[in-house]
Structure 1
Amino acid sequence: MKKSFEIEFDWKDYFVVSENYVRQKEHSEIEFKESFHSPRHKDKKLHKWIASFANANGGLIIYGVKNNGELVGLKNDKLQDFDNKDLSQELLDYFAPEIEFELFIKEINELKIGFLYIHKSKNKPVVAIKTANNNIQESDIFYRYPGQSRRISYGDLRNIIEEKHKELNDNWLKLINNVATIGVENIGLLNIINGELIGSKNKLLIPEELLKKVSFINEGKFVEKDGAPTLKLIGDVQPLDSNKIIQLVENKYHIITHFELFNSFFEQELDSDSAREFFRRVLYENTVYYPIYFYISKSNLNQTQISELLKTEQGNKVDDMRKRFKLEKSNFSKFKIGNITTGSDAAKKITKAIKELTENKQINFKSISTRELRYYIQAITHLKEDEINMPYIMRILKDIYDNCFNQSGTTKSFIRKAICHIDLILFGKEFYES
C-alpha cells in the first residue's frame, strides 16, 4: 500500500516561514491560494492546475496564503468539511488516467493552512478527455512550469514519451535477463486468453520477486470471480534467482534522448560525429543546461565553427545558447549555489560536504534526505578545478542523477547546475582559452 503523503509531510522541508510570510515564491512545485473553492466551479482552473502537477513532478497547492506569500489562514470550514470524492469524480470526468491527490490541513503559526498534494502520475501524460471551457479543451495536456500551469511544450512532452520508452526498455531488459538466466530452452509462454502454456517442458516459471506478490488457489478450492481467468496450481512452486546481466552495447546514437545527453558526460565516452549531433540536439531541447562544453571538446569544434553552426540551426534554443556563451565566457562561477562565508548552519553543511568531496568520500545518495542532497549539490558547484578528481566526481554526478534527478523540479534544477558547473570549469575554460 502506498504511504500517505500527509503522514510523512513536514512543511519545513518545502518552504521557510519568517515573520508570517512564506519566503519562497510560487514555483514548479508550489501554488498559493488565499481561499478554497469547490471543484465544481465553472472555470475549472483547479482541474488544470492539478493535471499540470500530475504531468510534472507532483506538487502542492497551499490554501490560506496570499500571492505575496503572507499566511492568512483558512477563513472558513469549506476545506475541512470537503468530501474528496467530489474532486475525484470531477477529475475523472475531465482527465485520464486517474489523478491521485491528498487534501489535508496543518497548523502553521497558529493558523490553519490547507494543502492539496498532487502525486506525480505514474502513467503520463494525463490528458483532457472532455472540453469544459476556454481553460480546458479535449486532448489538452497541461504541465507545471515555474509559477504557472499551461499547455505542455514540445520538449517536455518529448521527455515524457522518452521516459515511457525507457521504462518499457528497462522492463524488456529485466525480462531478457530472466530468460538468459533460465535458458531459452527452459522457458514457457502462457497465453492468458486461452490458457495454453507453450514450451518444451510445460512448466510455468515465476521470478522470485514476482512470486512474493502472487496468491495461488490450491486444486479443489477453485472459485471463479466475475468471469476473470484464474490459475489453478498443481505441483510445486520453485522460485528463480535472477542475477545474470546482459550488457547491450551500441556504438552509434540514432535517437538522442536526455538520458544519453547526460550519461555520455558521466561516462566521458563520445566520438566526434556523435558529439556534434549531441550539441545540435540541445538546441532543440526545452533547456540549454546540458554539458555542452564536453560535446564541443569531443567534436573538436572551435568558437568560430560553433558560431557558424548557430547561424544555420533552427532550434528554439539557439538564442539561449548564444546567451550562455556570452555570460560564461568570463564567469566560471556562474552556476555556484549558496554562500559558504555567512557562518550559517547551511553554509557550514555545504563546507563540510565540500571537504568530503575533495577527500573522495563514498556517499550513499539512495537513502539521503532531500535537504542533505542539496547541500552536496551546492558543494559541487563550489569545487575548483584543482579540487576535482574527474573519475570520482563523474561517479558522484551519475549517482545523483540516477537516484535523485526526478525527485522534484527544484532538485532537477540544482542537479543541472552542478553538472554544468563541472562541465564549465573542466571543458569550458579550455574552449574559451583556445
Structure 2
Amino acid sequence: MKKSFEKEFIWEQYFIVSGNVIRQKENSEIEFKESFHSPKHKDKKLHKWIASFANNNGGLILYGIEDNGKLIGLQNDKLEKFDNKDLSQELLDYFAPEINFELFIKEINGFKIGFLYIHKSKNKPVIAIKTANNNVQEGDIFYRYPGESRKISYGDLKNIIEEKQNLLNDRWLKLINDVASIGVENIGLLNIENGELIGSKNKLLIPEELLKKVTFINEGNFVEKDGAPALKLIGDVQPVDSKKIIQLVENKYHIITHFELFSSFFEQELDIDSAKEFLRKVTHENSVYYPIYFYISKSKLTKTEVYKILDKEKSNKVEDVKIRLSIEEKNKTKFISGNISSGTPAAEKIKKAFDKLKTEKKIDFSNIETSELRYYIQAITHLKKDEIKIPYIIDVLKNIYDKHFNHSSTTKSFIRKAICHIDLTMYGEDFFTNDK
C-alpha cells in the first residue's frame, strides 16, 4: 500500500516562513501558484507541471502563494470542493503511465494553503499520449528543472532510460537468485492472462471470468470490502518466506493508450472484452481513425450491437465514429491515396512501390526519405483484399509506424490512412453484412 504523503507531511521540514513569506525560491521540487484552477480549464499547463514532477523526483505545487513566496491563502473554496477523480481522469486521458498525486489543504500562519503533491513515477518516462493544446503535444516528455517545467533534454532522458534498464537488470538478478535458492524443481509460473499456473507437477486453472474480478492482495494488507470478489482456498496452506512471494502486475489493458490502440492491430490479438473497450476508447480520442473494424471483429459484435454501444457512450467523438461507419459502408475505397495509373512521375513511383508490396519484398524503412516513404504508404492504400497478405502487410505497417509515425502531422495522417485502408478492406465487409 502506497504511503500517504499528506499524513507524514510537516511543512516546516520543507521551507521556512518569515513575515508571511516563504524564504525559498521555486526549485526542481516546488512550484508556487496564486490560485487553483479545475483540470478541465483550457490552459493545460497544470498537466505539464504534474508530468514534469513525476518524471523527476516528484514535487509540490503550492496554491495561495505569490511568485515571490508571499502567503495570500486560497481566495475561494474551489480546491476544497474539488473531486480528485476529475484530475485523475484528465491525467489518464493525456498521459501514460498513470501519475499518482495527493491534493490537500494545510494552514500556515493563519492562511489556508493548498498542496498538490506529485509522486515520483515508478515507471518513467511519463509520456503525453494525446494532444491537449500548445502546452501538451502527443509524444511530449516533460521534466522538472530548477524553477521551470519544460521538455526533457537528451541527457536527462538518457539517464531515465539507463535507470530503468538498471532496475530491470536488478530485478532479473534477484529473480535468478530466488530461483537458485528455491530450486528450479519447486518453481511455478502463473500466466496472469489465462490463469494457468505452470509447474513441474501441477497446474491450477482460474476461469477467465473470475480471473478478471479477483484482486490479489499482498501479504499483510488484506482489507475486507463490500461486494469485493473472494477466492476461497480449500486445503493445506504452508507458510512461506515473504521474500519468495511473487508480486502480480495489473491486467495488460487496465489503461488503454494511443499505443495499445495501434499495437493490438499489429499483433492481431485481442480478447473479446478488451476489443469492446478498445472500440469505446476510440470515441474518447482526438481522432477516430484507428483500426475499429478489427476491434469489432474481435469483439464478435453485430452491427446492431455496435451502434447500441455507441449510443450509450457519452463522449464528443461518438457522432464522428457513426459518421465514419456510415461513409465507409457506402465507400470502401475512401482511404485510397494518390493515382497509380496516370503515368506521371509520382504515379510511376507509387506503382513501383505497389509492385514490391504485392510480391512481398523485404523493405528497409529505417533511413528512407519522407517523399519515398509516402509513395509506399499510398501504394498500401491501393491493395485489394485478394492482394493483401496479412502477416506481411502488418509487418510493413508496424515498421513504418514505429520508425516514422511521430515525424510530422502530415506523415502521421498518411500512416493512419494506410492502416485504416487495410482494416476496412480486411474486416469492414464482415461488419457491414453481419447484423444477425
Q: TM-score, normalised by structure 2?
A: 0.47
Larger RCO of the pair (alpha carbons < 8 Å, separation 6+): 1
Q: TM-score, normalised by structure 1?
A: 0.48
